[in-house]
Amino acid sequence: TGVTVLAGKRRVEGIELQANGSLTRDWDLYSAATFNRGEIVRATTNQGNVPLGVAEASASLWSITRLGEGWEAGGGVLASSGFWLTDANNGKVPAYAVVNLTAAYVQRKYELRLNLYNLADKTYYLGGYQNAPNRVLPGQPRSLSFTLRYHFDT
């Protein structure tokens, strides 16, 4: 009839763990990991499958080091175990890990920052489009950004 009716039941159970802190006065570390188990519990189709977009595991690790005189450098990794593009589980995004880097000059009134995203120019996917296994949303290719931030209130 061309009418979509949302019915059924989906369940995603999981846990997210985070650990953040300073290893030294000038070295900060940020980390997170998630572990999920998803299931289409009740549905007219695809019952028992994993819902689209639910990765079994994902993690990130980011570190910043202050080098002195306002300079800082850092980097990190963002990773995913991959996930299904459809509820029918017939198109899977492969696992991926991307590395990002940053360097900055930080002062009380302003900050200059250079970011390099996806250092290895890894092809990866963030999701799908219209629940179709042949339509994907690609992740950011290797790219560079430069940011100038000015603080008016300090």
Closest by Cα among 53, 81, 76, 59 to 137 = 53
For 127, the token pair is: 């999701």
Q: How far apart are CA 86 and CA 99, in angstroms?
A: 27
Amino acid 90 reads N
User: CB neighbours of 21 closer than 8 A, spacing ≥ 6?
Assistant: 28, 29
Place 10 in a pLDDT band, splitting at 50, 70 and 90. Answer: very high
- Whole-prediction pTM value? 0.83
Q: What is the dihedral of CA 121, 127, 132, 134, to 10 degrees?
A: 0
Output the pLDDT for position 8.
87
Q: Give the SS3 label for residue 85.
A: coil
Does 91 or 14 have the greater pLDDT score?
14
pLDDT per residue as tens digits for the range 51-79: 999 999 999 999 999 999 999 999 999 99
Specify the pLDDT at position 139. Answer: 94
CB 95 within 8 A of CB 57: no
> For 51, phi and psi rounded to 5 degrees?
-60, 150
